[in-house]
Amino acid sequence: MMWESPLLQWQQTLLERLERALDRKLSDADVRCVSWNAAGETLTVVTRPLLGELRAANLTSNVFRAANRGRRTTWAPPAPG
């Protein structure tokens, strides 16, 4: 598979997670189905046929996020008491 520019580490990590979820390597056609959000460090599967394959595999989300590295979360459980 070919990208127009070299991938950053977080992008490579997310692609590997997607490949593991699908149990296969991504093809050039799959690449056209992916969108990146650098600010949020996310990979989103946005179009078919890859989007349809995710749904057929019963994957609950089409968004893959990089690990939280000190970023503030939008939700936290209530404090006890």
Does the pLDDT value for residue 59 go beyond 90? no
Is 13 a domain residue? yes
Domain boundaries, position 39: 9-65
Selected residue with higher pLDDT from 78 and 63: 63
Residue 81 exposed, middle or buried by CB count within 10 Å (0-12, 13-18, 19+): exposed
Percent of the chain past pLDDT 90, that is, above it, reads 51
- Chain-wide mean pLDDT for the chain? 83
Radius of gyration of the chain (CA): 15
Is 44 a domain residue? yes
Place of tokens 């979360």: 73
Is 40 a domain residue? yes
Does the pLDDT value for residue 73 go beyond 70? no
This prediction's pTM = 0.74
pLDDT of 1 reads: 61
Q: Which two tokens stand for residue 10?
A: 């977080």
Is 71 a domain residue? no
Domain count, the chain: 1
